[in-house]
Structure 1
Amino acid sequence: MIVIGEIQNPRACQAFSDYLLLQKIEHKVVVDQSSQRLQILVNPEQQVKASELFEEFVNNPNQDKYLQASWQTGAVLKGGKSNLGLMAIWQSGGTLTKLITLVCLLIFAASYFGFFRSIFQQLSFQWSVSEFYRILTPAFMHLSLMHLVFNLCWWWYLGGKVEKHLGSNQLLQILLFTALISNVSQAILANTNFAGLSGVTYGLAGFVWMIGRRTQSNDLFLPNNIFIFLVGWMILGFAEVLPINMANWAHLAGLLTGIGIALLATKKDNNKKATD
């Protein structure tokens, strides 16, 4: 397929995509990894017509016909024929962000379809030299759909930020360190019956928040209100006023680990700048 143009605004791109559907032009919307803009691709035999329509849209994107197209294609979009939406979100993710998301989804699906006991026996926390990996693997298990969705949303948002701006290696380091320290802390200070990626997501929250404060970055930061919400949620967990059980020590250990990694990273950068 051939790229006929790029659109930055997702809503505008959706409107044009709807209009192309009405014009019976097969197309696909993808995210350009370098510019993070949405690209519209069409088949070569429809390129001329699609390019003319794109030029018309760019010159006057507020025409009523584009809004009407969105209404008229509503049923089609519900049927899953739009390539924007979830597909564009998925394509915007980094390699490691996607990989961990898939691992968590597959483990949860296997647990849901009758393999929970065997999975828990193989992946739950265990003090064992021969099965050392079980210090990390509880992070990839989830005990309910809400638990899974909550953690993966934060993972995609925070992990995606880190991978996009600092690379997969930095994200992998944070993942391993925060999973290790949060899981061990929960096992020592509470018990070994826990699961979930929340220790890692709290670590990412601490890392991104501190990086933003130390570097004043406009790209990699976490707003204070979101950080306060996460800390407040953790405090409620320790206070045991919520109707759910939470791995509170894993959350706290993950948060402090993430902040610590950010402090070390920014200190190293400052020292390097001072010697240059």
Structure 2
Amino acid sequence: MYEIGSLPNERAAQALIDYLKGQGISCALTHKEQGVTLTVHNQTHLVQAQLEYQAFIANPYDQKYLAASWDHGSANTKLDYGSPNLLLVSQFLTGAGPLTLVVFFACVIIYIAMNLGLSNPIFEALSFFGATSPASFSEAWRIFTPSLLHFSAMHIIFNLLWWWYLGGKIENKIGFKPLFIILIVGGTLPSILQYFIAGPYFGGLSGVVYAVVGYTWIMGVKRPEAGIGLPPAYIGFMLLWLVFGFTDMFGLSIANGAHVGGLLVGIIQGYIGSCKSYS
């Protein structure tokens, strides 16, 4: 059985199951403490099912799901998942674990505070060694906290979407500990590399994001039954974005050292993780 994702209630899950059945994909649901989990029986259908799951999340009220329920004889052929806003909030919460959400909201709170006139004191408190004052290695948190700083809306949205999507999958399907290790290692070693390449003036969760990308990539290849595989198109996009960072094509200040370092950290941890057994 290969997990493709979670949904907040059984009716939503049944709509997707009926649609996948029409695509020749056998899918089952399992009740959990919050919502339900969807799994496919055949590994060859995993990538297609994951893509259909993402399409369903984006537009769950599409009439093709109602048509599928009629075609496959579901008892409830009304697309009533509850309040659309409640469905979205529920999906957001069930799609991530506590660690994923804590980091997500910490970044959001810090970003909002920086845009409410506290930019300088926050940067002085959380930036890397030497960014605002002579380095004091007693302030050990500075090796990690630049990961929580973001300097534009696009910067934080890009990073947090990937963190929620991939970090949530890792935490929900493999556990808190693997994600915590990725967060700490991916939030420190790439920062050190970026410092030696370009100095202390950087910030963002990008190093951690590339770490979870690398981890998910390797685990998806080596241990697909863990259920955290990433479609090849997503991997291709992230690698392409990494390459574009070195071209200055977009005129953005991109922490390329952190990106490369994070990807290498994730790949190494993915290989280590693929050698372990998960229930």
Aligned to 2:251: 243
Aligned to 1:35: 36
Q: How does 1:20-169 map to 2 (within 5 A)?
A: 32-33=33-34, 35-36=36-37, 59-62=75-78, 82-126=85-129, 127-169=135-177
Q: Secondary structure at the match of 1:242?
A: coil
Is the 8 Å Cα contact of residues 151 and 198 (structure 1) preserved in structure 2?
yes
Aligned AA for 2:239?
A: V
Query: 2: CA distance between counterparts of 1:10 and 1:236?
Result: 41
Cα offset, 1:170, TM superposition: 1.0
Query: 1: CA distance between counterparts of 2:99 and 2:14?
Result: 24
Cα offset, 1:85, TM superposition: 1.6
Query: 2: CA distance between counterparts of 1:112 and 1:150?
Result: 18
Cα offset, 1:227, TM superposition: 0.8
Aligned to 1:7: 11
Cα offset, 1:208, TM superposition: 0.4
Is the 8 Å Cα contact of residues 194 and 247 (structure 1) preserved in structure 2?
yes
Query: 2: CA distance between counterparts of 1:202 and 1:133?
Result: 21
Cα offset, 1:244, TM superposition: 1.1
* TM-score (norm. length: structure 1): 0.71
Cα offset, 1:10, TM superposition: 8.7
Q: How does 1:212-251 map to 2 (within 5 A)?
A: 212-217=220-225, 219-251=227-259
Q: How does 1:189-228 map to 2 (within 5 A)?
A: 189-217=197-225, 219-228=227-236
Q: Secondary structure at the match of 2:249?
A: coil
Query: 1: CA distance between counterparts of 2:93 and 2:154?
Result: 20
Unaligned stretches of 5+ in structure 2? 1-8, 17-31, 39-72, 130-134
Cα offset, 1:240, TM superposition: 1.6
How many percent of aligned residue pairs carry the same amino acid?
Answer: 33
Is the 8 Å Cα contact of residues 36 and 92 (structure 1) preserved in structure 2?
no
Cα offset, 1:216, TM superposition: 3.0
Aligned to 1:256: 264
Structure number with the higher helix fraction is: 1
Q: Secondary structure at the match of 1:125?
A: coil
Cα offset, 1:58, TM superposition: 5.8
Cα offset, 1:11, TM superposition: 7.0
Query: 2: CA distance between counterparts of 1:35 and 1:164?
Result: 12
Aligned AA for 1:253?
A: G
* TM-score (norm. length: structure 2): 0.70
CA RMSD of aligned residues (A): 2.7
Query: 1: CA distance between counterparts of 2:208 and 2:269?
Result: 13
Cα offset, 1:210, TM superposition: 0.5
Cα offset, 1:82, TM superposition: 4.1
Is the 8 Å Cα contact of residues 95 and 165 (structure 2) preserved in structure 1?
no
CA deviation vs aligned residue, 1:110-164 (integer Å, no higher than 9, x gap): 1010000000000000143210110100000100111111100000001001001
Query: 2: CA distance between counterparts of 1:209 and 1:111?
Result: 33
